Chains A and B, each alone.
Chain A
Amino acid sequence: MTSSLTVENLSVRFRLPGATVHAVSDASFAVRQGECLALVGESGCGKSVMAHALMGLLPGNATVTGSAWLRTGDAPPLDLIAAPERVLARTVRGRRIGLVPQSPAAHLTPVRTARAQLAEALRELGSPATADELAARAGLDPAQLDRYPHQLSGGMAQRVVNAIALAGDPWLIVADEPTSGLDRPLVDATMAELRRLADDGRAVLLITHDLRAAERVADHIAVMYASRVVSHAPAAEFFAGPRHPYAAGLLEALPSRSFTAIPGRPPELTDLPKGCAFRPRCARSTDACSESPEAGPVACHHPLEHHVAR
């Protein structure tokens, strides 16, 4: 049976003194084995919080509602949101879901070799594999494992954290901004690695602000704006012309396209406007937009026609 993650109506709120942060609102999407779903959006739109919510890594002042059903082969489905920490720690993190962190250089312990850190992950997860096998699987030369993190290039450090994420043989890889701060050849190499993981029958949830990186690897693109998933489409359809005005604006802002910013700025997550959150910046807004659009592939009252954005 195919393994999958199905997120339904997921919301995350943070209580702050005198304010509530609406970090994720009513998000629904699914990702299956063999697929890569890219979750894109500007910084502060809630996409990293989503990743942390799925792995049970949110701080204590967070309230999570909705469900995230993890179906692993023939095992009974598990709701990641309702599951107790003990279950997440023992059966999910590292074993079913592997996390590729934001900054490999900062994620590795500087005073221990790559080999020691890989071996630790294997030992903790009770894996029979050796560090050398794991390194080879992640495209690393085992001879390089005896280096310390500062002796690794950015691309090699990236492969070490990929190898650690794969130590427990998870079928779902969550990659949280795996390319920030890397130069273009390294971004391309990292995306190729993620694509290879998906082609090997894993599922990849890629969280990124970089549309061009997403284009290289994703089968589906979900766009988040002000805590909501506003657009969800097959990648080819998305890059041919997104139907949500925000998604279209984001794509048009690329230097390879019109290179113009979307006017205005995103709302504060503590103070979201009523109705469509993109309304104040949207050229197409009408009175209908004072009502929240229904969540769906295009959460908009007046979506663009296909292919007009180009």
Chain B
Amino acid sequence: MLRADGIAVSYGRQRVLRDADLTVAPGVVTGLAGPSGCGKSTLARVLALMLRPDGGRLTVDGTEVRRWRQRAARDLRTKVALIFQQPRLAVDPRLTLREIAEEPFHATGRPPGPAADLADEVGLTPELLVRRPHEVSDGQLQRACVARALALRPRYVICDEMTTMLDASTQAHLVARLEAYRTETGAGILAITHDDELLTRWTGPSEGPIVRMG
């Protein structure tokens, strides 16, 4: 279980989250919905250990998180992956798509898995892997970000409006890719989106709960 209890977050004087609870169970897709500005993305960053909350508890498979961001214990940090809404803001523009997808291996000092597999899994061709972000479309870049998120085989994947910028076919492809990962590894997925049709469709196969915020 990835479990948040009573999470509170403020940006300056602005209280964004107050006493927020959320549980992401392994093996199912949990949906999280709510209007823009209700704190969905802030909660996503707390769950991915990327933002230290002002109050509350986060536990990853029973271990309480006490250190956050770079200071978080590596084995906890790599258990949760985060996929952002805007791939262009989530990558280093100097890196090629292959380097982006392989970043987690370098960050943790592990040998990269075979790049060809990785490319195939998310639908990137070898010629796309040598390109940099400005040379590819949003959809192609998001595929590289999905490969990066799955590189270290996380137990939990947080998808924060992952497909909002993408066309229907690319959306269906990436959701199918994450569903394949979930059924293969038993990982837990948190699907954050304000799109109710997508949420119903995505949580349906694993009969996961839909949580509404705001």
Contacts and interface: CB of A to CB of B under 8 A. Distances in A.
Interface of A: 41-44, 153-154, 180-186, 209, 211, 249-251, 253-256, 259-262, 265, 268
B139 A43 contact: yes
Interface stretch (B4-12, B95-103, B108-116, B195-203): B195-203
Interface in B157-214: 164-173, 175-176, 194-198, 200-202
B156 to A, nearest CB: 23
B200 A255 contact: yes
B118 to A, nearest CB: 16
B85 A181 contact: yes
A254 B197 contact: yes
Nearest to B86: A181
Determine which residue in A41, A183, A256 has the highest number of CB atoms from chain B within 10 A of its CB, and name it. A183
A259 B172 contact: yes
25 contacts: A42-B137, A43-B137, A43-B138, A43-B170, A44-B138, A154-B36, A181-B86, A183-B36, A183-B194, A184-B196, A185-B194, A209-B165, A250-B167, A251-B168, A253-B169, A255-B171, A255-B172, A255-B202, A256-B197, A259-B201, A260-B172, A261-B169, A261-B173, A265-B125, A268-B127
Grouping DSSP codes into helix (H, G, I), strand (E, B) and loop, the B interface class, with mixed when no group exceeds half, is: helix
Nearest to B139: A43
Interface of B: 35-37, 85-86, 123, 125, 127, 136-140, 164-173, 175-176, 194-198, 200-202
Contacts of B86: 181
Contacts of A180: 164-165
A146 to B, nearest CB: 21
A186 B169 CA distance: 23
A42 B169 CA distance: 8
A261 B172 CA distance: 5
Contacts of A209: 165-168
Given A259-B172, A261-B169, 17 more contacts: A43-B137, A43-B138, A44-B139, A153-B37, A181-B86, A181-B164, A181-B165, A182-B36, A184-B195, A209-B165, A253-B169, A253-B172, A255-B195, A255-B197, A255-B202, A259-B201, A261-B176
A160 B171 CA distance: 30
Contacts of B197: 254-256
Top-4 shortest CB links A-B = A44-B137, A261-B173, A42-B167, A253-B168
Contacts of A255: 171-172, 195, 197-198, 200-202
Contacts of A186: 36
A49 to B, nearest CB: 12
B168 A211 contact: yes
A154 to B, nearest CB: 6
B168 A43 contact: no
A245 to B, nearest CB: 12
A41 B168 CA distance: 9
Contacts of A154: 36
A183 B137 contact: no
Contacts of B127: 268
A301 B138 CA distance: 30
Nearest to B195: A184
A43 B36 contact: no
Given A182-B36, A183-B35, A255-B200, A42 B170 contact: yes
A251 B176 CA distance: 17
A265 to B, nearest CB: 6
Contact of B171 (A44, A181, A182, A253): A253
Contacts of B123: 265
Contacts of A265: 123, 125
Contacts of A42: 137, 139, 166-167, 169-170
A259 B176 CA distance: 9
A254 B168 contact: yes
Contacts of B35: 183, 185
Determine which residue in A154, A251, A254, A255 has the highest number of CB atoms from chain B within 10 A of its CB, and name it. A255
A81 to B, nearest CB: 25
B137 to A, nearest CB: 3
Nearest to A249: B169
B169 A250 contact: yes
A261 to B, nearest CB: 4
A255 B204 CA distance: 11
A255 B31 CA distance: 15
Contacts of B195: 184, 255
Determine which residue in B140, B169, B175 has the highest number of CB atoms from chain A within 10 A of its CB, and name it. B169
